[in-house]
Amino acid sequence: MKVGVVISTEDGPSPTRVDFVVTEGVVHQGQYVEIDSPQGRMLALVEDVIKTNRYFGQPEIVREYELRSSLSQNFPVKEWEFLVGVARPMIVWNDAGTERPTLPPSPGAEVRVPHPEDLKRFLGFNEDGLHIGSLQFHDVLVSLDINRLIQKHFAILAMSGAGKSYTTSVILEEILDRRPEQGRIGVVVFDVHGEYVGFGDPVSDGEHVDYSDRTTVLRVSDLRIPVPSLSANDFTYFIPDLSPAQRRELDRIISAMKSDMEHGSGPYDLADLIDRIAADEVMKDSTRGALISWLRSLEKTGLFDAIERPAVDRIVRPGEMVVFDLSSTLDAKVRQMVVAYFSKRLFDLRREGRIPPTLMVIEEAHNFIPSDIQRTDALARGTLETIAREGRKFGLGLCLISQRPVKLSSTALSQCNTHIILRITNPYDLNHVAESSEGIDSRSAKMITNLRPGEAIIVGAAVNFPVFVRVRRRKSQESKYEKSLVEMAREFEEKMQKVEEDLALL
Ligand SMILES: Nc1ncnc2c1ncn2[C@@H]1O[C@H](COP(=O)(O)OP(=O)(O)OP(=O)(O)O)[C@@H](O)[C@H]1O
Ligand SMILES: [Mg+2]
Using a CB cutoff of 5 Å, list residues around ligand 2, an ion. 164-165
pLDDT at position 176: 97
Determine if ligand 1 sits within 6 Å of the CB of residue 403: yes
Element (H, E) at 284: none
Ligand that lies nearest to the alpha carbon of residue 475, given by its number in the listed order: 1
Could you identify the atom of ligand 1 that is nearest to the CA of residue 472?
1
- pLDDT digit string, tens, across residues 28-85: 998 999 999 999 999 999 999 999 998 898 999 889 888 888 888 888 888 899 999 9
Neighbours of 247 (CB within 10 A): 17
Q: How far is the CA of 165 from the centre of ligand 2 (A)?
A: 4
pLDDT at position 481: 61
Percent of the chain that is helix, strand, coil (3-state, to 5): 40, 25, 35
Percent pLDDT > 70 in the chain is 99
Instruction: Please enumerate in sequence order all residues whose Cβ is within 8 A of that of 471, keeping only pairs 6 or more positions apart, or say none.
Output: 132, 133, 163, 166, 167, 170, 454, 455, 456
Determine if ligand 1 sits within 6 Å of the CB of residue 163: yes
Distance CA(387)–CA(264), nearest Å, equals 35
Determine if ligand 1 sits within 6 Å of the CB of residue 302: no
pLDDT at position 506: 67
Element (H, E) at 97: strand 97-99
Instruction: Please enumerate in sequence order all residues whose Cβ is within 8 A of that of 453, keeping only pairs 6 or more positions apart, or say none.
Output: 161, 162, 163, 166, 422, 423
pLDDT at position 489: 86
Could you identify the atom of ligand 1 that is nearest to the CA of residue 169?
18
HEC profile of 133-162: EEECCCCCEEEECHHHHHHCCEEEECCCCC
In CATH, 134-223+310-485 is 3.40.50.300: yes
Pocket test for ligand 1, best of 165, 174, 208 (most atoms within 8 A of CB): 165
Angle between helix 244-262 and 285-300 (nearest 10): 70
List the chain residues with pLDDT less than 70: 481-483, 505-506
pLDDT at position 360: 98
Closest CA to ligand 1's atom 18: 163
Determine if ligand 1 sits within 6 Å of the CB of residue 453: yes
Closest CA to ligand 1's atom 16: 163
Q: How far is the CA of 257 from the centre of ligand 2 (A)?
A: 43
User: How do the domains of the chain map onto residue ranges?
Assistant: 2-114, 134-223+310-485, 225-304
pLDDT at position 503: 77
pLDDT at position 330: 86
Closest CA to ligand 1's atom 12: 163
